[in-house]
Structure 1
Amino acid sequence: MNDLVEPNIGAAFRGRRLGHFRDASAFARYRTAYDQAMARLPEPDLIQDVATQFGTVRVHRFGAGDGVPLLLLPGRTASTPMWEANLAGLVAHRPVYAIDLLGEPGLSVQTRAFTTAADQASWLTELLDGLGLDRVHLFGVSIGGWSAFHLALNVPEKIASVSLLDPAVLFGRITWKVIVISLGSVVPFFPESWRRKLLSWISGGADASDDEPVANLISAGMRDFTAFLPPPTYPADDTVAGLDVPVLALIAGRSIIHDPRKAARRARRLLAKGVVELWPDASHAINGEFPERVNARVLTFVDEVDRTRETP
């Protein structure tokens, strides 16, 4: 695939505090892993780069049918291929847009530094305008759930619903385990075998070997990409309670991101239009562990939201 937008490569981007690949070899390794992982997905109907004030966003659209589309927001150091287990099932029911987050490993290219966490909602709002989408269902996992929540706060009139898979820094504060994993993602000479163990740990023991393309891609992003992202802010109770959009929150009972039961209790207590479920057997990699069940639950939820809106 030939890209119209050049990736950020090299130390010159460090001084500008822009996400970048360490060198040309690092990008080549990452791009090989990206293409190999993308080859496992359904064929996109459209691939485009959408300009925002913070950079260009790589967007893949799957499916061309009618209906309010789903917009998928991946987790940290992940990108579009992380939805491998879910895409085919989702696309069979409605159009799907999958993006690589700005400032993260992927094919989106950051051109302006983030100064506050609120900047994430700003570029996502611009993305919706650039895609010409008046209304979407958001579907976010981990930090993508945090981003989805803040986008819905920013432009609730454009958001039909929000589905959250074990969202990070939203209903529960991060644990020391997350800090350990974060260190492994930024230390350039962190042993690869240790990095794989961290990936397996956060995924509840899931396969993170060289034979797993998505794990390869995430590991490459952790190793070869430097990010400059403001820490995600933990929302106050009144902020969570102020979201006037239907929300489905699936909390993983074996998550190491937060205390799952406390997170579920806070979500149930605060969300004005929330449906909150604690899945005891799921880890933070819930979308890959239970893809059919996750898809069925999310699609049932968004279908009901659409039916309710259509009812006079």
Structure 2
Amino acid sequence: MADSLTSLTTEQRNERTKNLDRMATEEMLAVMNEEDHRVAKAVKQVLPSITIAVDEITNSLKGGGRLFYVGAGTSGRLGVLDASECPPTFMADPEMVQSVMAGGGQAFTQARENAEDDESEGVQDLKGKKVTAKDVVIGITASGRTPYPIGALKHAKDIGAYTISLSCNNHSKISAFADCPIEVIVGPEVLTGSTRLKAASAHKMILNMISTTTMVKLGKVYENLMVDVHASNYKLRERAKSILLECTTATYEEAEKALVEANLQVKPAIVMLKGNVSFQQAKELLEQSDGHLRKAVELNT
């Protein structure tokens, strides 16, 4: 097992940083920055696989399915972060995108490294979410061999859910249990084996891509604006008004009035202002267009 682990790209030593402990501060920062430049290039290489993943996730969510991120340690924390940001950014139902982390919620702030070593724990935690064949499960592991997400992905595949793996090594063990394996090869870390660095950056970028593009395809974005933003505080209410001003010819006062009448919901407020219709009519137009703002506006022209 030790030989197998050290053969992984994520565990190999980086020739460019063997003198890391002798470098001056700026030199260390420069080499880290150079290595980070490699991350985006690595992500670019797997865009075709990410495209497949997004289309499958979109179809699942449209059909009432859910998306689950499963991981341990840094990988688990990335899943928690991305899932938790979907409701405020896109007004997504908290059930739509969820995270399952080895060690539970406490492990987000206090590392429990041994929680990742049991496949059965991943199975049981996913069973606790009552995952069905309608759902999509993404197993996240930089090494590609972490037992916890592997167990979860095995279970998901057994029950017919669509499975996606996210790793940073070629021919990863977890890839064998994924309908859509994504192996983003970022190379050895600046600090040997510390996959919270480049591997985590790559996975964060990919999770950003997956959740954002999926929500765009679900109609939660108009042009490049967050029209499903949850205007729950002063900053977000002002952002909502700014979006109304960007999308319509309304004055600030008219935008504010429409937002209040629309119960702080940006999409119906835009339809109201663009089509000179009531809140109820705007809701009906959005329902007819399956929540897509552009289609709703076109229906009223």
Question: Is TM > 0.5 for Structure 1 vs Structure 2?
Answer: no
Query: What TM-score, normalized to structure 1?
Result: 0.33
Which has the greater radius of gyration? 2
Query: What TM-score, normalized to structure 2?
Result: 0.34
Write 1 or 2 for the structure with the bigger share of helix. 2
